[in-house]
Every structure is written in structure tokens, then in C-alpha cells.
């Protein structure tokens, strides 16, 4: 790990990377559409969301942002799109929740056109041995059940490093409060 940015810098990274996207963009696990305002107007936005209630809500929210294509149903382990069909894939706080990170990243690579980018923003496991890491590991079984599958103790950077992207720009961010050192990663991985 080299530089660790602040939480404010993590938010700035999200604005900058989402604002720079072009073409057809698929957002996996899009939830309640928190990113929608950050995309350029000319982007064709496709959402994928497995939870039917969230999907219905997301469809309404997306329409308010002028995005009228139906939100895709399904999980990111099996993306219902053809090979090389999108210019970018976005995942924000979603690799913490999926059942199989390696399968999701293989699907992300499959649907990206050559040279296309996966843009990710994730909370990840706190440093090994830290108090927060022990809390995350204790809470993980409960969190997985009650919080859309979210496992707060995942070392998601390892999955990104192992996923076979041609280029990975992965940055670290932290929010330190009292003795609790929460960690985030963000960046781009190119097919």
C-alpha cells in the first residue's frame, strides 16, 4: 500500500471517475441509484439489481434522472448482457455483497469491450490485527444475513489483483476515528 487518502478524497475520486465516463455504462448492484447524479448526461446508463424491491425503487429514481431503460434483473455473477457490449462497468459497495467475487469480475471482463474499464469503489477489511478488523470478522455472519449479503471483512483488493485485468489502478482511502481504521479502495481496472 502506498498513499492512503481521506474519506473526502474518496468522494472526490467517485465524482471524477464517474463524471469521466462515456458510452454505455453498466452499474452492477446499483441499489437506490446513489451514483446517478454523477454520470454525464450523454452516458447510456444500464442498471443491474437483483433485489426486486430495490429494482422497482431504482427504476423510479432512474426515471427522475432521465434514465428510462428498464433496470436489469439478476446477479453480477451472471450478467444478462452479451460479450464486449459495454464501455464501462461501475460497482460501488457491491463486491462486499456478492456471493462470488471472482465470478463477478470474470463477468465484468466478459461484458467489457476490449480497453473498457471497471470502475470500483468499495469498503474493505480493516488492517489485519486491528480492533476494527476483529469487530468486522465478528459481525460478518450477522451482516451477511441482514444487510444484502454485505461482508465487512473482505480483502477485496486481492480479488481485483487476481482477476486478470490488463491494468489496475487501485487507490487506498481511510477514515480513522478513535481506534477504528476503516479502509476503502477505489479506482479502475482495464480489460
Binding region for ligand SAM (CB under 6 A): 28-32, 34, 49-51, 54, 75-77, 92-94, 97-99, 148-150
How many other C-beta atoms can be found within 10 angstroms of the C-beta atom of residue 24? 18
Among 173, 183, 175, 148, which residue's Cα sits nearest to residue 14?
173
Find the shortest distance in angstroms from Cβ 129 to ligand SAM: 26
Find the shortest distance in angstroms from Cβ 148 to ligand SAM: 4
* Rounded Cα distance, 82 and 85, in Å: 6
CB contact at 8 A, 111 and 81:
yes
Find the shortest distance in angstroms from Cβ 32 to ligand SAM: 6
Which CB atom, from 62 or from 129, has the smaller least distance to ligand SAM? 62
- Indicate the Cα dihedral angle 135, 140, 143, 147, nearest 10°: 120
Which CB atom, from 148 or from 171, has the smaller least distance to ligand SAM? 148
Helix (H) or strand (E) holding 28: strand 24-28
Find the shortest distance in angstroms from Cβ 50 to ligand SAM: 5
The residue at minimum Cβ distance from ligand SAM is 31
Which CB atom, from 3 or from 159, has the smaller least distance to ligand SAM? 159
Amino acid at each position: 500500500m502506498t498513499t492512503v487518502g481521506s474519506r473526502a478524497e474518496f468522494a472526490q475520486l467517485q465524482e471524477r471517475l464517474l463524471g469521466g465516463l462515456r458510452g454505455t455504462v453498466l452499474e452492477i448492484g446499483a441499489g437506490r441509484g446513489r451514483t446517478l447524479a454523477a454520470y454525464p448526461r450523454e452516458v447510456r446508463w444500464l442498471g443491474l439489481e437483483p433485489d426486486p424491491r430495490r429494482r422497482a425503487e431504482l427504476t423510479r429514481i432512474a426515471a427522475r434522472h432521465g434514465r428510462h431503460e428498464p433496470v436489469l434483473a439478476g446477479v453480477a455473477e451472471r450478467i444478462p448482457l452479451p460479450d464486449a457490449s459495454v464501455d464501462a462497468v461501475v460497482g460501488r459497495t457491491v463486491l462486499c455483497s456478492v456471493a462470488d467475487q471472482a465470478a463477478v469480475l470474470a463477468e465484468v471482463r466478459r461484458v467489457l469491450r476490449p480497453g473498457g474499464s471497471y470502475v470500483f469503489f468499495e469498503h474493505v477489511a480493516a488492517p489485519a490485527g486491528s480492533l476494527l478488523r476483529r469487530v468486522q470478522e465478528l459481525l460478518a455472519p450477522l451482516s451477511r444475513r441482514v444487510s444484502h449479503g454485505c461482508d465487512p471483512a473482505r480483502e477485496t483488493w486481492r480479488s481485483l489483483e487476481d482477476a486478470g485485468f490488463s491494468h489496475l489502478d487501485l487507490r487506498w482511502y481511510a477514515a480513522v476515528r478513535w481506534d477504528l481504521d476503516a479502509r476503502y479502495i477505489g479506482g479502475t481496472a482495464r480489460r
